[in-house]
Amino acid sequence: MRILVVDDSALYRKILTDAASSALGTEAVAVSNGESALKKLESEKFDLVLLDVFMDGMNGPQVLEKIKVLYPKLAVIMVSGATGRDAEITINCLSNGAIDFIPKPVGSSFEMVAETLKADISKAVSLARLPSSTTASSSIIEAPRAPEPTPYLKPKRLQPPAFPELLLIGVSTGGPLALSKIFPILSAKIPVPILIVQHMPAGFTKSLAMQLDRSSDLTISEAMEGDIATPGHTLIAPGGFHMEVQRNAVGKFQVHLTSAPLVHSCRPSVDVLFNSAAKCNLQGAIAVILTGMGSDGADGVASLRAACSSWCIAQDAATSTVYGMPKAIVQRDLHDEILPLHEIAPRINKLFRI
């Protein structure tokens, strides 16, 4: 695998190049600006671009836009700081064709920063090596794995629940793009709270919520401890915290944030949210599992099915950036419907009779 590193900082070019070259079977080449990157892509073949967000001259988003036009199958992963402005631009890049991002770590030493980036780049290389990982409209099929044990489940319903009380969404890699396609179409008349877990580190989920809020008739915000989840209001789990939902003393849905250990190597975790919802004595729930690597969400959907009348929509392989989380749902026969991305929002509206 050949990796092109694009960063205007000499220090980060060295760190990123060394980290990328340390992965088995990789070769990394570095350039210092967007113009040089595009010239390099004209003359040489690369499998992955690690692209800095802020650079002198042509910035990261501008380079990404050109790459997606000229080389639509080339995988691009953004490298970003975690300031508010960096995070907002990074989320926009994820909605415009970048398959993932790597946050620039803040460390007290060169060695600490290098080790953190080495682990993140190793994951990025694994992602880019998956088949057809190059566009958000293509499918990434993860290597087969043994199905996880499924607890006792109530038989599937032939019809969706008549009175769902929550809409729960779980998503990971490719999530900002998927959510940006869904939320502009979702009706503001949805009569239940909407709770989302997007695998994302601290500092980025607030920007994601703000971007979605601007494009949607719904109110969308990053969740805070103790938030009351109200009908039509969408709460996104903050990066670095698990989000649980509980019924308070007056029967309202209330958010509780925890720093409990990682689940499926994630915090926030989809399973944590869904498992907590299963304990809320619900009349019914709608669960949606979108694109993402791994199997987070499958245990939570199983818990919902065992606890209440529930209905699960899994995104299909053809429109998933990474067909991991939805695939885990399908493998365990936890889905009620498998839909392409563009059909999910209209179907949710219909489920709520809108």
Domain boundaries, the chain: 2-129, 166-351
Indicate the fold that domain 2-129 takes in CATH. Rossmann fold (3.40.50)
| Beta strand 194-198 pairing with 233-236 | parallel
Catalytic-residue membership of 18: no
Place of tokens 């019924």: 247
**What pLDDT score was predicted for residue 221?**
97
Grouping H, G, I as helix, E, B as strand and the rest as coil, residue 62 is helix
CB 312 within 8 A of CB 287: yes
Catalytic-residue membership of 221: no
Starting at the earlier edge strand, list the strands of the sheet with 100-103. Answer: 27-31, 2-6, 48-52, 75-80, 100-103
Measured over the CA atoms of residue 272, residue 274, residue 280 and residue 281, the dihedral's sign is negative
Catalytic-residue membership of 296: yes
- Residue 43, H or E segment: helix 34-43
**What pLDDT score was predicted for residue 84?**
67
Place of tokens 């910035």: 59
- Return d(Cα 188, Cα 145) in angstroms, integer: 39
**What pLDDT score was predicted for residue 81?**
73
Q: Which residues of 294-330 are buried (b: 16+ CB within 10 A; e: fewer)?
A: bbbbbbbbbbbbebbbbbbbbbbbebbbbbbbbbbbb
Catalytic member of 199, 242, 264, 335: 199
pTM of the model: 0.85
Place of tokens 């980036």: 117
Q: What angle do CA 156, 198, 119 make, to 5 degrees?
A: 120
DSSP codes, 166-226: EEEEEE-TTHHHHHHHHTTTS-TT--S-EEEEE---TTTHHHHHHHHHHH-SSEEEE--TT
The distance of Cα 270 from the centroid of its chain, to the nearest Å, equals 11
CB 63 within 8 A of CB 31: no
Q: Does domain 166-351 have CATH number 3.30.1360.10?
A: no
Identical fold between 2-129 and 166-351: yes
- Return d(Cα 100, Cα 120) in angstroms, integer: 11
Catalytic member of 52, 296, 299, 336: 296
Q: What is the pLDDT along the chain (354 residues), one digit of tens a residue?
A: 899 999 998 988 988 898 888 877 889 999 999 999 999 999 999 999 999 998 988 999 999 999 999 999 899 999 987 666 778 899 999 999 898 998 887 665 777 777 777 878 887 777 777 664 333 333 333 333 444 444 445 555 668 999 999 999 999 999 999 999 999 999 999 999 999 999 998 889 999 999 999 999 999 999 999 999 999 899 999 999 999 999 999 999 999 999 999 999 999 999 999 999 999 999 999 999 999 999 999 999 999 999 999 999 999 999 999 999 999 999 999 999 999 999 999 999 999 998
**What pLDDT score was predicted for residue 157?**
61
Torsions phi, psi for 347 (to 5 deg):
-65, -40
Residue 111, amino acid: E
- Asked if the peptide bond before residue 268 counts as cis, ω within 30 degrees of 0, the response is yes
Grouping H, G, I as helix, E, B as strand and the rest as coil, residue 78 is strand
CA distances from 11 to 27, 95, 191 (A): 18, 28, 51
| Closest to 151 measured CA to CA, from 301, 6, 27, 262 | 301
Torsions phi, psi for 18 (to 5 deg):
-60, -45
Please compute, for residue 165, the number of CA atoms within 13 A of its CA located in the half-sphere on the CB side. Answer: 19
- Residue 86, H or E segment: helix 84-94
| Closest to 79 measured CA to CA, from 17, 2, 170 | 17
Catalytic member of 80, 172, 310, 320: 172
**What pLDDT score was predicted for residue 82?**
60
Residue 266 pairs in a beta bridge with 263
**Residue 109 CB coordination number (10 Å):** 8
